[in-house]
């Protein structure tokens, strides 16, 4: 009896250790240098090689409308620092990633102070499409910067969109139709907004300038916890049909009846 008690205790401790949370790194897009304003930009999420060693680099591509400013160009803007910004510094996992510190195989930080840009024509709707190279992102975070005036972003109605942070002078809200819009954004690296999208995505699309703002260009990057980069879409559990338990009960009853008959023969 004593041996079994020790085995139970040992098993319980192993279970506790297995349940302990593992701190995962947050990664952002490492945008490929691109000075061409063609509405197209590419980059990668760079793996730490620990939490997601089997993932390798995850390609990200941005395709957007052409507004004639600098959409599709990528930058490492002076003064941009997501960690110390009003709108991104408190994002889940970001500060932990810096404090670990998590780095890629080249010793570079996983959260890069870089942007891909998108723009639109004056008082005309535009669009942004993001593709994740055949992989799937669970609960990604979009971080916008260099926002001016009444920039607005219209997401699909079935996506859960939430504002996580914004510039102190900003006044962004999620309105009817999943339109994220606001006022008080004055441009530059400190004028930003971060939003979370709940779900699993292999691509994203949203419309821009849905409130008739003047033509401008915004910066964009994507953050995601490394363990939320998936090689394939998760399979939803198949619900048990309501009638199935009744059928199983009926079959069980038939089995008992059959045994009873054998015993009485």
Q: Is the pLDDT of residue 79 over 70?
A: yes
Q: What is the pLDDT of residues 94-137, one digit of tens each?
A: 888 887 877 777 788 889 999 999 999 887 889 999 999 999 99
**Assigned token pair, 101:** 């510190």
- Whole-number pLDDT of residue 58: 87
Contact by Cβ (8 Å): 36, 79: no
**Residue in this structure with the two tokens 């005309």, named with its chain if needed:** 124
Q: Can you read off the two tokens belonging to residue 199?
A: 């779900």
pLDDT of residue 185: 86
Q: Which residues of 102-139 are buried (b: 16+ CB within 10 A; e: fewer)?
A: bebeeeebbbbbbbbbbbbeeeeebbbbbbbeebbbbe
At residue 246, the pLDDT reads: 44
Per-residue pLDDT, 18? 39
How far is Cα 88 from Cα 144, in angstroms, rounded to an integer?
A: 9
Give the residue with greater pLDDT, 52 vs 100.
100
Is residue 47 predicted with pLDDT exceeding 80? no
The reported pLDDT for the residue numbered 87 is 95
Question: Do residues 73 and 35 make contact, with C-beta atoms less than 8 angstroms apart?
Answer: yes
Q: Please report the pLDDT score of residue 50 as a whole number.
A: 52
Cβ-proximal residues to 34 (8 Å cutoff; 6+ apart), any chain? 40, 41, 42, 72, 73, 74
- Summarize pLDDT for 7-24 with one digit per residue, the tens: 233 222 223 333 434 457
pLDDT value at 53 more than 50:
no
Contact 105, 113 (CB under 8 A): no
Residue 49: pLDDT band (50, 70, 90) is low
What is each CA distance from 155 to 62, 63, 79, 140, in whole angstroms? 16, 16, 29, 14
């Amino acid at each position: 009896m004593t041996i079994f008690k020790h085995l139970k205790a040992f098993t319980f401790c192993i279970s506790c250790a297995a349940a302990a949370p593992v701190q995962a790194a947050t990664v952002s897009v490492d945008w490929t240098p691109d000075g061409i304003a063609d509405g197209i930009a590419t980059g990668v999420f760079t793996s730490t090689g620990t939490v997601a060693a089997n993932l390798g680099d995850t390609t990200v591509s941005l395709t957007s409308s052409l507004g004639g400013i600098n959409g599709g160009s990528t930058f490492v803007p002076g003064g941009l620092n997501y960690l110390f910004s009003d709108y991104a510094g408190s994002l889940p996992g970001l500060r932990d990633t810096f404090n670990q510190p998590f780095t890629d195989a080249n010793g570079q930080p996983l959260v890069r102070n870089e942007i891909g840009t998108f723009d639109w024509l004056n008082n005309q709707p535009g669009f942004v499409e993001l593709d994740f190279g055949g992989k799937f992102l669970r609960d990604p975070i979009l971080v916008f910067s260099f926002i001016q005036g009444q920039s607005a972003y219209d997401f699909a109605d079935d996506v859960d969109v939430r504002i996580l942070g914004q510039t102190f002078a900003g006044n962004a809200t999620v309105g009817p139709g999943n339109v994220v819009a606001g006022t008080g954004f004055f441009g530059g690296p400190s004028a930003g907004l971060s939003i979370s999208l709940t779900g699993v995505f292999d691509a994203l699309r949203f419309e821009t300038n849905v409130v008739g703002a003047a033509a401008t260009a915004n910066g964009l990057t994507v953050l995601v916890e490394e363990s939320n980069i998936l090689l394939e879409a998760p399979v939803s559990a198949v619900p048990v049909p309501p009638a199935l338990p009744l059928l199983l009960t009926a079959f069980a009853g038939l089995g008992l009846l059959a045994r009873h008959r054998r015993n009485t023969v």
